[in-house]
Amino acid sequence: MSTQDVITVLVIDDSAHNRRTLATMLESEQDVRVVDRAADGEEGLKKVVELKPDVVTLDLEMPKLGGYTFLRLLMRTAPTPVIVISSYSHRSDVFKALDLGAFDFIAKPQHATFDAMEALRRELLEKVRAARHMRPGHRHAAPGARAMAVAGEPPLVIAVGASTGGPPAVQRVLEGLAAEPTPCVLVCQHMPPLFTRAFADRLDRIGPFSVSEARDGDLVQPGHVYIAPGGRHLVVSERGSKLELHTPPPTPADKYAPSVDRLFSSVAEVLGPKSLGVVLTGMGADGAEGTRHIHRAGGEVWAQSEETSVVFGMPGEAIATGAVKRVIPLGDIGAALAAQARRRR
C-alpha cells in the first residue's frame, strides 16, 4: 500500500485512556495511521496545522480550548474533516458541533462490552474512510418562521432519507419548505437511539415545523415532521381514511435501523402514485431499494446533487437505479417540495 493510500488521523481527547483506545482501533487496519494525539483543543489545533491530517477525531469536553471553539478556529484556519466522539449524556451537543462544521459523530457505547467496542471500531473506521473523501456542503441558512398546520387539507407526505451530513441537510430542506406549511415530512436519519429525540427537539426549537420523534400509533398530521427513532424503523400504514405511523424493531437481516428502504417501501405501498421520497447525503446504499419501490408504484424520488452532498453514497446509489425523477442541489430541494405541495393541493 502506498503512502498516498494511507489515511492519517489526529486523535484529540483529554483522556489518555480514550486516546490510546481510539488509536488502537484506528490502527487495527493497514489503511489508517494515527499521526499524533492531543490532550486538548489548543494542542490539537497546533498539531492540525503542523501535521495536516486527513481526519480529526474530537472530544468536545476538553480543558484550555473546548470542542466548539476548536471547531470554529479549525474551520477558519485549516478546514479538516472532524468526527466528534460523543457520550449519550451529551447527545444534544453533537448538533451544535455539526452546525460548526463537524463531518459526523459517533456515540460512545454506554457499556464497554466486547461487542459494543467492536461495533465502535467498525463505525469509526467506516466514517474515517468516508471523511477523507468528503465534499463540503453548503452552509444552511438561518431558520425561517415556524409553519402552521392547515387544518382540513390532506397533507402531501414527503419521505426523507439521510445519513452522514444529514442533520444540517434535513434542516436546510425544512427551512426551504417553510413557505408551504401543509406537508407532513417523515425523516429517516441514520442515528443511534436517544440522539434522534435530541435531533427532533433541536429542529422543533429552531423551526420551521412542529417536529417530534415518531411514536407507534401517531397519526400523520399536516405541518408536522416525524423523526424515525434511532434503533427502530418508521413505516406508514392506513387506518380507515387516515395514515398511521409505526415504529417496529429491526430484524437480524436489517443493516440499518432506522432504514430508508423500509420507510420508502411502506410509503410506496400505502400512497402509490402519490408517494414522494427524497434521498439526501449519506454513506452506503440505504434508500436505493426503496427508490425502486416508489418508482414501481408510480411515485417520485428526488436525490441531492453530488456537488452539494457531504457524501454522495446514498444519493448516488439511488440515482444508479435509474428510478430517480430529479437530481437537485440541496439549497433548492425545499422550494421544489413547496412547489410540488402547492400543485397537489
Q: Are strands 242-246 and 82-86 parallel, antiparallel or unpaired?
A: unpaired
Domain parsing of the chain, residue ranges: 7-132, 157-344
Task: State residue 3's pLDDT score.
Answer: 63
- The pLDDT assigned to 143 comes to 41
- Does the domain made of 7-132 have the CATH classification 3.40.50.2300? yes
Q: Decide if 286 is catalytic.
A: yes
Which listed residue (190, 233, 293, 295) is catalytic? 190
> Pseudo-torsion of CA 127, 131, 136, 140, nearest 10°?
30
User: What is the distance between the alpha carbons of residues 274 and 336, in angstroms, rounded to a whole number?
Assistant: 16
pLDDT score at 141: 39
The pTM of the full predicted model, rounded to 2 decimals, is 0.86
Yes or no: say if 60 and 87 are a contact pair by the CB < 8 Å rule.
no
Asked whether this chain's domains 7-132 and 157-344 adopt the same fold, the reply is yes
Architecture of domain 157-344 in CATH?
3-Layer(aba) Sandwich (3.40)
d(CA 251, CA 139): 36
CB 190 within 8 A of CB 286: yes
In a structure prediction context, what are the per-residue pLDDT tens digits for the chain, which is 345 residues long? 566 689 999 999 999 999 999 999 999 999 999 999 999 999 999 999 999 999 999 999 888 888 899 999 999 999 999 999 988 767 778 988 998 999 999 998 888 899 999 999 999 999 999 888 775 444 443 344 344 444 444 579 999 999 999 999 999 999 999 888 789 999 999 999 989 999 999 999 877 789 999 999 999 999 999 999 999 999 999 988 899 999 999 999 899 999 999 999 999 999 999 999 999 999 999 999 999 999 999 999 999 999 999 999 999 999 999 999 999 999 999 999 999 998 876
Distance, in Å, from the CA atom of 100 to the CA atom of 67, rounded to the nearest integer, reads 10
What is the pLDDT at residue 154? Answer: 57
Choosing from 36, 54, 163, 305, the catalytic residue is 163
Distances (CA, A) of 36 to 18, 55, 109, 179, 321: 13, 11, 24, 48, 42
Q: Is 138 a catalytic residue?
A: no
The CA–CA distances, whole Å, from 75 to 45, 49, 112 equal 11, 12, 32
Residue 135, pLDDT score: 57
Establish whether 163 is a catalytic residue. Answer: yes
pLDDT at 2: 62
Candidates 13, 36, 59, 286; catalytic one: 286
Q: Which three cell numbers stand for residue 263?
A: 420507510
Q: Return the pLDDT at 161.
A: 98
